[in-house]
Amino acid sequence: MEFRKVFDTIPEQFDRFRPRYCRELFDFLIDYADIDREKRVLEIGPGTGQATDPILQTGCDYSAIELGEHLCAKMVEKYGGFPNFHIVNDDFITHDFGRQSFDMIYSAATIQWIPEDVGFSKTFGLLKPGGVLAMMLTRSDYKTPNEALYARIQALYDRYYRPEIPYTHGGFRYDRAPDYGYVGFEKREFRGRREMNPEEYAAFCGTHCDHIVIPEPYRTPFFEGLRRVVAESGGKIVFEDTHVLYLAKKPLDP
């Protein structure tokens, strides 16, 4: 199974435990791209809506394309009652969008699963002149808040981290957007903070694609170990999050 399809095996867990993005990021993005009821927006790979609500609630004409069948069904369950909500269960790489065009295309930790040339070239072709490409992700630090806990967690990884499928993902260069015709590339950062108890932390780790495919006899002691070391370290783990937003525009003139 492809890593980008693994998430579809845990839609409920994914919806409950994947982190959301801070409100400040969305306030900035909505203002930057001037998103309102007159605009058409496409979200690539929304998962179960970790970055959907603030954009959908602007009243824009919101569309999404989601590869996972079960993730797509969860999106319909959550947002199907919104008249401005539209979603298709398909692969962005091969989907034919016909004559559709958008004022903004955005992804939350998704576009990096698409080959760089396809991701940039196809979004560029789908955007209206002056349209915005927004790409966001979260970088988390749990070492600084508690280095002793971090060391104990790393010891568990050293002992039990044996995913069945080799993790080879990586290499998408956000800063290469100008190589594909985009202008005005910039990076913004926003801060967040999360606290989790032992059960929440283990469940959150279980939403990582490479953790989902850890087999027995490693899986059970790994996740039990995560719960145990957090319980023994004050009953919580703290994440200092950096929400990164990359922005680029399609030129007004061809």
73-85: pLDDT as tens digits: 999 999 999 999 9
* pLDDT at residue 113 in the model: 92
Q: Is residue 217 part of a domain?
A: no
Residue 100 has which token pair?
């559709």
Q: Is residue 20 part of a domain?
A: yes
Q: What is the CATH number of the domain that holds 49?
A: 3.40.50.150
Residue 169's pLDDT band (boundaries 50, 70, 90)?
A: low
Is the pLDDT at 183 greater than 90, yes or no? Answer: yes
Whole-Å CA distances, 191 to 12, 59, 174, 187, 252: 26, 26, 20, 14, 32
pTM as predicted: 0.95
69 neighbors 91 (Cβ within 8 angstroms): no
What average pLDDT does the segment 206-233 reach? 96
Domain of residue 38, residue span: 3-140+166-193+240-249
Q: Is residue 228 part of a domain?
A: no
Domain count, the chain: 1
Is the pLDDT at 170 greater than 70, yes or no? Answer: no
Is the pLDDT at 1 greater than 60, yes or no? Answer: no
Q: Is residue 34 part of a domain?
A: yes
Q: Is residue 208 part of a domain?
A: no
Q: Is residue 233 part of a domain?
A: no
Q: Is residue 28 part of a domain?
A: yes
Residue 168's pLDDT band (boundaries 50, 70, 90)?
A: low
What average pLDDT does the segment 236-240 reach? 98
What average pLDDT does the segment 170-190 reach? 95
Q: Is residue 201 part of a domain?
A: no
Q: Which helix (H) or strand (E) holds 231?
A: helix 219-231
